[in-house]
Structure 1
Amino acid sequence: MHRRQALIAALSVVGLGAAGCGSRHGPGPVVPTPAPPLYPSRAADLFRPGTRHLLATGETAVSEIVPGGVLRLPTGRLTAADPGWVTRRWPDGVGPFTVTVPPGAYPLTLALLDGRVAAARLTLADRPVTSWDLALRAGEDPATLAPGYFFGVGVDTGTMALFDEAAHDAVGRLADTDPLNFDVEDSDTLEHRDVVPGANVIAFLTGFGDGEYPVWIGRTRDGIVGCFVVDMQMLAPATTTTAPPWLPPPSSGRRRPAPVDQPGSG
């Protein structure tokens, strides 16, 4: 499954993988180096086909947009997780985001750079997004984050899955039964249909592979959730941009969250 481990290792040496994440699930503490600002709108810009982008590797690539299927959310509580962590073997702490949406079926779109999934967008309302929030799980407080840091989705199998909270146990059973149940090929998506009544699971590969990835909530002018965007952090840090950065809300005594050991370690 780890077809990209050499590249991932090379990126980690120069600090392209770890910087900027408030590591909830990572294998070690966050390196206390200055983190670049976070720009959710840059991930959203990846969904403009034919646009050229500078990658963290120093190369450039043209954005390609492909459909990823339709995700069904019977409770409206979205979960994004490495499917290998949604398992009965560990008390994983993988839960849904605190922001709920109306139950329904929503289209998933992938933005590819150099054939890799650079971002995934779940569209709930086909309307312009005017503001961005960081998607959070229970117990995650953005006021504890320093600028440039985020709570993200930890990945160590190079794969992420999106599903409704109602499908959590079914995803765990699939992962426990056979890890190859979530073996995704290249830039395709893998769907498990009707894992529970009314809910499916859609999995896809994550950019350069393992890491920690933020999920952004795009809101329309009237405040409703227009989309969720998963940013695979493939882009080079912005040097010049007119886009406003995302900043955590102010808090006295702010500190970065303590890292949590990787499931199954120790």
Structure 2
Amino acid sequence: MGSAVDVRLAAGPKEDWFLRSVFNPGARLGTRPDDPATSVRVVEVTEVTRLRIPSGRLIVDSPWPEDGDRELRTPVGRELAERITPGTFRVEAAWTEAPYEFMGEHFDGREVAAVRLCITDDPVTGWEMALGIDDDVEMIRPGDRIGFNSEANEGSFADAAAWPALTAPFREFWRGLRDGLQQPTLRATESLSDGRFERARDEARGADLVTFAAEGSCIIWLGRTETGSIASIVAVAYGYHSFSGGPSA
């Protein structure tokens, strides 16, 4: 690579394997935690939408207000320290399936294992954990993993400069619940992929926000090219790193 990766941020062997495998249809990521005989396989990679980031500043965090915030203020949002070239980028989802049976019914176990923002199509040669602008690398030890936590089990990619406007539909939703509106379920967002994702737009700035499922802790990874530039930004729920798969699986 063109620049050395801090060992404290570099993906470990299993994480590196997962990140290289999860967007490859046909890859076996491991087995179901409740059924070691059933494989979790990548079945499809789809383009969810295109995301406008005119500021070159990216927030990857939950768009929802902080839990217990009765004033429903704009969430702070974890802005990445790394800047990207302003532009419009593909958002892609890696879908897995792991069939199971429940109460006599059969299900395909289809889930989104990871989402990525495609900055370029150049090959990724290494992965490192993304720092937020308020993170201090000197406080991180090798093996530490930091990212964001979502009490609503939802994260997002969003233009940082437009963050207050892009997250407004989510605050208005909670305001409707708080005020007892009869139909607070509609948000001023666009539903994508049968409701698995949402897109909010700020046309005044030409900027977007796209949500994705993010149960518990979510780690953000920067995929760098041989020259050190960023080709991909990937969001992965922390639990997916615990799959029983691996290089020899």
- TM-score of the superposition, structure 1-length normalised? 0.67
Q: Distance in 2 between matches of 1:150 and 1:128?
A: 24
Question: In terms of Rg, which structure is larger?
Answer: 2
Structure 2, unaligned runs of 5 or more: 1-11, 98-109, 175-184
The correspondence of residues 190-229 of structure 1 with structure 2, limited to 5 A, is 190-194=198-202, 196-206=204-214, 209=215, 211-229=216-234
**Cα drift, residue 38 of structure 1:** 6.1
Distance 1:193 1:240, change over 3 A: closer
Gap regions ≥5 residues in structure 1: 1-35, 243-266
Match of 1:107 in 2: 90
Higher strand share: 2
- Residue type at the aligned position of 2:52: R
Deviations 1:65-90, CA, capped at 9 Å, x for gaps: 12111111001111111111378735
Which residue identity is paired with 1:95? Answer: R
Counterpart code for 1:223 = G
Which deviates further from its counterpart, 55-64 or 222-231? 55-64
Matches within 5 A, 1:60-209: 60-63=39-42, 64-85=44-65, 89-90=72-73, 92-114=75-97, 115-179=110-174, 180=185, 181=187, 188-194=196-202, 196-206=204-214, 209=215
1:44 aligns to what SS in structure 2?
helix
Which residue does 2:103 correspond to in 1?
none
Task: Report if aligned partners of 1:40, 1:216 keep a CA contact under 8 Å in 2.
Answer: no
**Which one is further off, 68-77 or 181-190?**
181-190
Identity of aligned residues (%): 24
- In 2, Cα distance between the equivalents of 1:146 and 1:237? 23
Aligned CA distance change for structure 1 residues 62 and 238 (closer, same or farther; 3 Å): closer
Check the 8 A contact 1:117/1:232 in 2, yes or no.
no
User: RMSD value over aligned CA atoms?
Assistant: 2.8
TM-score (norm 2): 0.72
Counterpart in the other structure of 1:258: none
